[in-house]
Amino acid sequence: MGDKKDLLEESRQGEVLHFNADDGTKVGKKLYIESYGCQMNFSDSEIVASVLGKEGYTTTSNMEDADLVFLNTCSIRDKAEETVRKRLNSIKHNNKKKKNVKIGILGCMAERLKSQLFEEEKLVDLVAGPDSYRKLPELIDDIEDGQKAVNVLLSREETYDDIEPVRINSNGIAAFVSIMRGCDNMCTFCVVPFTRGRERSRDANSILNECKDLYSKGYKEVMLLGQNVDSYRWSENKDLRGRALKEAPRDEVVDFAKLLVMVGKVATDLRVRFSTSHPKDITDDVLFAIRDYKNICNYIHLPAQSGNTRILEKMNRTYTREWYNDKVSRIREVIPTCAISTDIITGFCSETDKEHADTVDLMKTVRYDLAYMFFYSERPGTLAQKKFEDDVPEVIKKKRLSEIIEIQTQVNKEQHAATIGQTFEVLIEGVSKRSENELRGKTSQNKMIIFPKENYKIGDYVNVKVESSTSATLLGTAVEKVNY
């Protein structure tokens, strides 16, 4: 089944992603989960496994062994939903559904379609939205009583902060830590604010405890997750809520920069990553934290979405092309070695060739280290769907997409070639897919390097000299182990 983390990085939100897990236990009821879409969904599946673990369920990597099959779904683009529907069809046609197996749809598609899913997909027994996973035991009781079960209530409070995730999609080295849920941004193209609800931040102490616990178990990297991590805001003072929390003076709250530093201090050899940053919210203090703590990785995912100011306004991104460019310059001024990645949408409503050329130009100017690129997919219920016409023909959307993919591939090829001869500190995450005798690991900038195994072990930090490259990977040789 390939490497889950690699898959995660290759596909991000909305593509065909699934993982499963097998903890080897042969007794009790078995749960099989496939996750689609963003890293948050993968993280949520670990919460689900934990909630059901308390009910005696163990996870299995084999759907045929399962009593309960869950698909944790994504709605971000039409294609993501189509993938899940095809999966349900294949389950039906392959007769994988044993007589007593129950099938549940979790996540964003559950939230978007609610009980309508029962009409559309006869196979489905249970529908649970992202804020209802604590209720899964009750919902399962309902289906065992022969009913269809649904809970799609969104919450303003739920952060699952007391639930210790079962690390089903981890390599034992890097783990996801969810720090906030929901999104208040209302980008006009995006369904997330509707499927994941209002923004809320998790208790900083519980985040910190989770990171400390992971480190004590041998983990070397934590990925702090949120739809918009830079608007993380939490206070010990429970009276500070909503607007009051947003407006409270900095010394009364833990903001994202403070949280990063807290987590960065857990251990010098515990790497800290985070995603996703909204360009409007990332602060200098976040940049200073990255600059000042070597273990806070030099990598920022800073989705631009478009390089044209009129389109950005129509998307409700609240920044202009110039403002975005200034943010990139500021990042490079404070952290010269920082890698920057982006998300781009081509063919948003009314985008002209000339406006698309601004996106091409932005990509050529910024020269991203990585780009996740999509053509616009109209989502029901979003502001764009209500207010604008989806008027760029699909062939044009796709042509523009191919154009930017080509540019990005060329940029990556050149960037990789330029790293030949340089040495990077790499955290070894696993064995290479190409050969048992090679290891793979990542630089602080999130670049994968493959190198001969020698006597190095998974979890070691090593300095690796880059010797050759492709547009996707760097190949090198380890120079020495880094001791902490």
Shortest CB 159 distance to ligand SF4, Å: 17
Using CA atoms, how far apart are residues 176 and 167, in angstroms rounded to an integer? 9
Structure tokens at 339: 């890698």
Which residues are 481's β-sheet partners?
462
Exposure string for 164-200, b = 16+ CB within 10 A, e = fewer: ebbbbbbbebbbbbbbbbbbebebbbbbbbbbbbebb
Place of tokens 């990585």: 370
Shortest CB 178 distance to ligand SF4, Å: 14
| 377 belongs to the binding site for ligand 5AD (CB under 6 A) | yes
Among 37, 53, 104, 193, contact with ligand SF4 (rule: CB under 6 A): 193
Torsion angles phi and psi, residue 69, rounded to 5: -115, 120
With 0-12 / 13-18 / 19 or more C-beta atoms within 10 angstroms meaning exposed / middle / buried, residue 435 is exposed
| 349 belongs to the binding site for ligand 5AD (CB under 6 A) | no
Number of H helices, E strands in the chain: 16, 21
| 190 belongs to the binding site for ligand 5AD (CB under 6 A) | yes
Query: How many chain residues bind ligand 5AD (CB under 6 A)?
Result: 13
Q: Looking at 118-126, 353-361, 376-384, 407-415, which segment touches ligand 5AD (CB under 6 A)?
A: 376-384
Using CA atoms, how far apart are residues 98 and 34, in angstroms rounded to an integer? 17
- How far the first Cα of the chain sits from its last, in Å, is 33
Query: How many chain residues bind ligand SF4 (CB under 6 A)?
Result: 10
379 binds, among ligand SF4, ligand 5AD, none (CB under 5 to 8 A by kind): ligand 5AD
Structure tokens at 109: 């598609």
Shortest CB 82 distance to ligand 5AD, Å: 13
| Three-class SS state of 182 | coil
Using CA atoms, how far apart are residues 233 and 250, in angstroms rounded to an integer? 10
Q: Looking at 41-49, 369-377, 420-428, 448-456, which segment touches ligand 5AD (CB under 6 A)?
A: 369-377
13 binds, among ligand 5AD, ligand SF4, none (CB under 5 to 8 A by kind): ligand 5AD
Place of tokens 């189509």: 82
Using CA atoms, how far apart are residues 334 and 296, in angstroms rounded to an integer? 14
Q: Which amino acid is at 77?
A: R
278 binds, among ligand 5AD, ligand SF4, none (CB under 5 to 8 A by kind): ligand SF4
| 344 belongs to the binding site for ligand SF4 (CB under 6 A) | no
| Three-class SS state of 469 | strand
| 189 belongs to the binding site for ligand 5AD (CB under 6 A) | yes
Among 4, 7, 8, 13, contact with ligand 5AD (rule: CB under 6 A): 13
Find, among 400, 376, 403, 404, the residue nearest to 390 by Cα.
376
Q: Looking at 89-97, 183-191, 207-215, 457-465, which segment touches ligand SF4 (CB under 6 A)?
A: 183-191
Do 260 and 286 form a contact (C-beta atoms < 8 A)?
yes
Among 57, 234, 376, 424, contact with ligand 5AD (rule: CB under 6 A): 376
| 227 belongs to the binding site for ligand SF4 (CB under 6 A) | yes
Q: Looking at 85-93, 179-187, 350-358, 460-468, which segment touches ligand SF4 (CB under 6 A)?
A: 179-187
| 347 belongs to the binding site for ligand SF4 (CB under 6 A) | no
| 228 belongs to the binding site for ligand SF4 (CB under 6 A) | yes
Q: Which amino acid is at 145?
A: D
Torsion angles phi and psi, residue 236, rounded to 5: -60, -30
Shortest CB 74 distance to ligand 5AD, Å: 9
- Kindly identify the residues of this chain, within the stretch 327-346, that bind ligand 5AD according to CB under 6 A: 343, 345
Quick note: the x/- pattern for ligand SF4 over 262-281, rule CB under 6 A, is ----------------x---
* For ligand 5AD, the closer CB: 41 or 377: 377
Using CA atoms, how far apart are residues 428 and 451, in angstroms rounded to an integer? 10
374 binds, among ligand SF4, ligand 5AD, none (CB under 5 to 8 A by kind): ligand 5AD
| 136 belongs to the binding site for ligand SF4 (CB under 6 A) | no
| 77 belongs to the binding site for ligand 5AD (CB under 6 A) | yes
Among 74, 192, 270, 363, contact with ligand SF4 (rule: CB under 6 A): 192
Do 40 and 66 form a contact (C-beta atoms < 8 A)?
no
Residues that bind ligand SF4 (CB under 6 A): 183, 185-187, 190, 192-193, 227-228, 278
